[in-house]
């Protein structure tokens, strides 16, 4: 039986009736059309689906949409406020922190939350902070530099 939920996504409130088993990521993608959040494993291991939920970076492939009811979600589409890139987005562009781009939205969401927790992380802290997000293209080095760039810009 469908359940009524209300979720704030990127500053706008949405009300829908969804199956209890609908994953948050499919709610974002299929119901709201926010396809910037990707699915890479459906098991919380790759991080491609990372979004910000109530201030925490979470894997939206292992959370039900009904669990997110009443909460506030920021997706990659909500990062560039007023069209200006978030410093982490800027860092990824400047430092070539992406190649195929599939892990990138999740990486950016995880990195931006990492910088909120730790505004001036060491390289090692950045690497550990991003261990929940897999990238198969970049070898991570340019991602580390992208996050350093964002930290210098005061992203945290």
Partner 1 sequence: MREKFVGQRLKRTEDPRLIKGLAHYVDDIRLPDTLHVAFLRSMYAHARITNIDTSEALKSPGVVAVYTGRDLGEKIGPVPCAGALPGLKVPDHRPLASEKVYFVGHPIAAVVAVDRYAARDAVDLIMVDYEELPVVVDPEEAAKGGPVVHQKFGDNVAYKLTAGEGDIDAALGSADHVIKQRILNQRLAPIAMEPRGVLARYLPGEEELTIWSSTQIPHLMRTQVALMIGIPENKLRVITPEVGGGFGSKLNVYGEEALLGWIAIQLGGKPIKWIETRRENMQATIHGRGQVGYIEIGCRNDGTVTGLRYNVFADLGAYHQLLTPAIPTLTGLMLSGCYKIPAIQINVTGVFTNKMATDAYRGAGRPEATYVVERAMDLVAAKLGLEVVEVRRRNFPAPDEFPFKTATGLFYDSGNYEGALSKALENADYTRLRAEQKTARENGRIVGIGVSTYVEICALGPSQAMPAGGWESATVRIEPTGKVTILTGASPHGQGQETSFAQIAADELGVAIEDITVIHGDTSIVQYGIGTFGSRATAVGGTAVFIAIQKLKEKANKIAAHLLGADAGGIAFGDGSYSMQEAEAMAGGEVPQPVVPVGQAPAGALPEPESNGKKRVTIQDVALAAHLGKELPPDTEPGLSATYFFEPKNFTFPFGTHIAVVEIDRETGDIEFQRYVAVDDCGRVINPMLVDGQVHGGIVQALGQALYEEVVYDELGQLVTGTLMDYAVPRASMIPWLELDRTETPTDVNPMGVKGVGEAGTIGATPAIVNAIVDALSPFGVTHIDMPVRPEAVWKIVNQRS
Kindly give the residue spans of alpha helices, DSSP state H, lying in 73-133. Answer: 87-94, 104-117, 123-129
Q: Give the residue, chosen from 8, 62, 72, 99, that forms a contact with partner 1 under the rule CB under 8 A.
A: 99
Question: Which position has the token pair 């926010």?
Answer: 34
Is 155 a binding residue for partner 1 by CB under 8 A? The answer is: no
Q: Which is nearer to partner 1, 115 or 142 (CB)?
A: 142
In this structure, are residues 31 and 50 in contact, taking their beta carbons and an 8 Å threshold? no
Q: Which is nearer to partner 1, 7 or 107 (CB)?
A: 107
Q: Give the residue, chosen from 5, 9, 18, 22, that forms a contact with partner 1 under the rule CB under 8 A.
A: 22
- List binders of partner 1 among 33-92 (CB under 8 A): 33-43, 45-46, 48, 75-77, 79-80, 85, 89, 92
The Cα 74–Cα 65 span in angstroms is: 14
In this structure, are residues 73 and 52 in contact, taking their beta carbons and an 8 Å threshold? yes
Residue ranges of E strands in the chain: 3-9, 12-18, 50-53, 56-59, 72-74
The residues that touch partner 1, with contacts defined as CB under 8 A, are 19, 21-22, 26, 29-30, 33-43, 45-46, 48, 75-77, 79-80, 85, 89, 92-94, 96, 98-105, 108, 123-124, 126-128, 130-131, 133-144
């Amino acid at each position: 039986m469908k359940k009524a939920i209300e979720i704030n996504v990127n500053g706008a409130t949405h009300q829908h009736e969804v199956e209890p088993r609908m994953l948050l990521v499919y709610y974002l993608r299929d119901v709201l059309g926010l396809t910037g959040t990707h699915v890479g494993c459906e098991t919380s291991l790759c991080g491609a689906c990372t979004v910000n939920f109530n201030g925490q970076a979470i894997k939206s492939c292992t959370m039900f949409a009904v669990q997110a009811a009443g909460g506030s979600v920021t997706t990659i589409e909500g990062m560039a406020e007023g069209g200006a890139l978030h410093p982490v987005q800027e860092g990824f562009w400047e430092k070539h922190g992406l190649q195929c781009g599939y892990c990138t939205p999740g990486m950016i969401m995880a990195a931006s939350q990492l910088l909120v927790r730790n505004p001036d992380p060491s390289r090692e802290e950045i690497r550990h902070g991003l261990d929940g997000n897999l990238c198969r293209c970049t070898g991570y080095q340019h991602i580390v530099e992208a996050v350093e760039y964002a930290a210098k810009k005061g992203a945290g």
